[in-house]
Amino acid sequence: MMNNERPAGTGVILVTFVVAALLEVVPLNQTLDWVRPEWMLLVLLYWVLSLPHRIGVLWGFLVGLYLDVLVGATLGQWALSYAFGAYFMLAAYKRMRVFPLLQQSAVVFLLVGSANLIAYLVQESVGRTLYPPYTILYSAAASAVLWRPLCTALRWTQHRFLVR
């Protein structure tokens, strides 16, 4: 990644987030809802990983705020969670790039799990949780499984539309 180049392709990044938002709300049956991956967080993690000089905590916060309104959560719930997610990725992106596939997925599992935990704690504090906290691990596991294919798709997009 050459950092001295002018940034380009912000529109493409936004489009990937809109597609992820669609996948977040597309209707599924109730069992599948448990394993719905955190699409927007995965996309955010990918962009932080590949463009850490551009996409960071602020993007995480804004994308999370958008998700808050989209799913009707307490304002700030996902904003906080995604800001932390982006922060963790910023701290880990150099190592992450040299990790093998399985290890990358494990890191994604931890990142999504901890981001979900933050959101869960907020939701718990406003009294809107019903199921025990370990249920957030299902979607973290689904996210870890989908990390690799999503990475491939986003990398193709990035090279095709010259995002940097």
Partner 1 sequence: MYSSNPTYRLLIALVLAVVLMALDQRSKWVEPLRYGVGYLTAPVHYLAHLPVDSARWLGRLSETRSNLMESRERLERQVLILEQKVQRLAVLQAENVRLRELLNSSANLDASVLVAEIIGVDPDPNRQELVINKGGQDDVLQGQAVLESQGLIGQVVEAGPLSARVLLITDASHAMSVQVNRNGVRAILAGTGQGSRLRLLYVPDTADIKEGDLLVSTGLGQLYPRGYPVARVSRVSHQSGAAFADIEARPTARLDRVSHVLLVQSMEPVSIPDVASESPADPPTAEELPDDE
Question: Minimum distance from CB of 127 to partner 1 (Å)?
Answer: 6
Structure-token pair, residue 152 = 């491939």
Are residues 85 and 110 in contact, defined by beta-carbon separation less than 8 angstroms? no
Question: Minimum distance from CB of 150 to partner 1 (Å)?
Answer: 18
Residue ranges binding partner 1 (CB under 8 A)? 18, 21-22, 24-28, 30, 33-34, 36, 52-53, 56-58, 60-61, 65-66, 69-77, 79-80, 83-84, 87, 90-91, 122-123, 126-131, 135
Are residues 82 and 61 in contact, defined by beta-carbon separation less than 8 angstroms? yes
> What is the rounded CA–CA span in Å between residue 101 and residue 61?
28
Alpha helices in the chain (DSSP H): 10-25, 30-34, 39-50, 57-71, 77-98, 101-125, 136-160
7 half-sphere exposure, CB direction, 13 A CA radius: 11
Question: Minimum distance from CB of 160 to partner 1 (Å)?
Answer: 22
Question: Minimum distance from CB of 71 to partner 1 (Å)?
Answer: 6
In the bound state with partner 1, the residue whose beta carbon lies nearer, of 133 and 159, is 133
In the bound state with partner 1, the residue whose beta carbon lies nearer, of 8 and 22, is 22
In the bound state with partner 1, the residue whose beta carbon lies nearer, of 15 and 101, is 15
Q: Is the dihedral of CA 142, 147, 152, 154 positive or negative?
A: positive
Contacts of 53 (CB under 8 A, 6+ apart): 1, 3
In the bound state with partner 1, the residue whose beta carbon lies nearer, of 52 and 150, is 52
In the bound state with partner 1, the residue whose beta carbon lies nearer, of 75 and 101, is 75
Question: Minimum distance from CB of 156 to partner 1 (Å)?
Answer: 23
